[in-house]
Structure 1
Amino acid sequence: MDKTYFTTLTAFNRASTAQVSSWLRQISDVQWQQPVVSSFSSIHETVLHMVNAENAWLQRLKNETVIRVDETFTGSRHELLDLWEQTSQQLSDWVAGFDETRLNLSFSYRRFNGQEYRSRYYQVLAHVVNHATYHRGQIVTLLRQAGFTAIQSTDLIGFYREEV
């Protein structure tokens, strides 16, 4: 694996986040807050988790103190979606500036429960994009259940097809 692979993955993540965010800007407040049976209790809570996770991983990668978005954010839906898009852009920018020779090196970080772990940079980068893809898929299902059907694919292969 090389840096180009992760630059492409984070570009995919950024583009897919922007696409899903555009759909979420179109739904009503009722749909945004509607109780659901899923990993989280609403579309809002799912997005809040995604922003929190991506932001936390970015802070860990940068060896910064992790500030939990899910405990501090008090803004509107559109402000949360803006923050999500900004965080995805920041991750992409961080990868673009990352020294490729360090991809296989490990670093220490703490999970939210305080437990310390070590992982390789490439493993964390792959995880962050995979985690976002998983939850974007949930959001697609939740949007359909809420009656929003103007949805297109956000699959990785579709992103690759656009690049060719």
Structure 2
Amino acid sequence: MTLSANDKQIIENSIRNIKDFPKEGIIFKDITTLLNNKEAYGILMKHLHHRYSSYNLDYIAGIDARGFIFGAALAQMLGIGFVPIRKKGKLPYTTIGEKYALEYGVDEIEVHLDAFSGVENARVLLIDDLIATGGTANAAATLVNQTGAKCVEACFILGLSFLDGIKNLSEKTDVYTVLEVD
């Protein structure tokens, strides 16, 4: 099921643009207004459910923190497990981590070592709200694969196509964006 132009417009119109946040020159895409718009959020989640119902997924992995919102809801709709990929130091059990570059430094995300246990060669969908440069998403896909699971696709509500994140991540896994921002 592809989204109609009207449905895409409803979703896009529900996302607020905040100029100069977190710094001057940046237009921040605020999804809180999408989340509190029951029509737009409903259209989005029904679309994602329809898209992924035939993927034979075992888990959805959501990237900290907005990926949790979409990932947990979609996992429940599909009747599968949800796994959080968190910032370093936030998970209570044995973890593996992956570092990635930031504009001014390095950060790290982690997943529980046994996050996908119980399912051999688990098929995992990675999800987050937005892909820009792709550093976090690439690190997350690497983590999924390092656990012995397979990241079969990475899904984002918004893709900033003027940056290289989608291109770079597509070398590691298939990438799907609901909306692209030029």
Tell me if both proteins adopt one fold, taking TM over 0.5 as the criterion. no
Larger helix share, 1 or 2: 1
TM-score between both structures, scaled by the size of structure 1:
0.28
TM-score between both structures, scaled by the size of structure 2:
0.26
Larger strand share, 1 or 2: 2
Larger relative contact order (Cα-Cα within 8 Å, sequence gap ≥ 6): 1
